[in-house]
Amino acid sequence: MEHVDILIIGQGPAGLSAAIYTARAGMSTRILGCAPKVAGDYDIDNYFGFMESSPGKELIERGRQQATKFGADIRCDRVLGVRQTESGAFVGKTENQEIEAQALILATGVSRIRPGIANLGDYEGKGVSYCVSCDGFFMRGKPVVVVGEGNFAANQALELTQYTPRVTICTQGKDVSMSEEFLYRLRENGIPVLEGKVSTLAGANGLDRVILESGEELDAQGLFVAMGQASSSDFAHTLGLARNGQFIETDREQRTNVPGVFAAGDCVGRFLQISVAVGEGALAGRAAIGHVKDRRLAS
């Protein structure tokens, strides 16, 4: 396992801004995340100091180069899950590696992917879950469905096998985008991957089955949502971070309720703009530097 001072998840304006501060302060800094599609896709008219409309891609590239110049190590690697260790450090698990850090900055933007299940909300807390490490235990021996098409869903399904052998993945009509390695491990564990779409949930006292668009029904007492890549809400569930809906709650210094975890940018849900993401990233970077220094003094 690799060790760094500060792990930043997200390579958008918030994550890159945080890294400029942390790396420049001499903290070993790893950013995980690929170039953001959203901020890269449009022209920006309202960013301070840029008179001409400039492409988002260019701003991100400049931020990347600046963070790299100060020593930040940027890897295009998706984070599948995070956990806190007994010593109070944090471990990020990606598709390729595990990295331990003394402080964690979440800068993952907002997830715009929804599973499109009509009555999902009616079963939240009654079988529908967003966190295997929180709720997998309650599904011991029971049939469960994971909805999702990528490596995140595959990883969640494999984690569930600690609790139950009865796991099925539904991609919600999307093409399977799991790596060969994950597909191999799913086959080894007898986890079917269906390309059907769960349209409705059913059950009188909590979830007991899911109904596919085709009319087919599957027994399921648990349904775990894992569409696209893991989002800040997924990490928040696992780490026990206070949230307001899908957004992470922080104080004015971008500290969450868990010491050592900071959040910045769209995932905090204030004013969803690049200027705000950059400012919050700077604050999160400063707070994370303070946290690492305090831990060094304490050890």
Helix 180-188 × helix 151-160 angle, to 10°? 20
Residue ranges with strand state E in the chain: 2-9, 29-32, 43-44, 54-55, 73-75, 79-84, 90-94, 98-106, 128-129, 144-147, 167-170, 193-194, 198-202, 209-212, 217-219, 222-225, 243-244, 247-248, 261-263
Q: Minimal distance in Å, beta carbon 144 to ligand FAD?
A: 22
Pick between residue 34 and residue 176 the one whose CB is nearest to ligand FAD. 34
Pick between residue 27 and residue 107 the one whose CB is nearest to ligand FAD. 107
Pick between residue 135 and residue 266 the one whose CB is nearest to ligand FAD. 266
Pick between residue 107 and residue 145 the one whose CB is nearest to ligand FAD. 107
Pick between residue 38 and residue 202 the one whose CB is nearest to ligand FAD. 38
Binding site for ligand FAD (CB under 6 A): 9-15, 32-34, 36, 38-39, 42, 44-47, 78-79, 107-109, 229-231, 265-266, 272-275, 277
Query: Is the separation of the CB atoms in 198 and 211 below 8 Å?
Result: yes
Q: Of 201, 33, 239, 205, whose CA–CA distance to 117 is shortest?
A: 201
Quickly count helices (H) and strands (E) in the chain.
Answer: 8, 19
Q: Minimal distance in Å, beta carbon 116 to ligand FAD?
A: 19
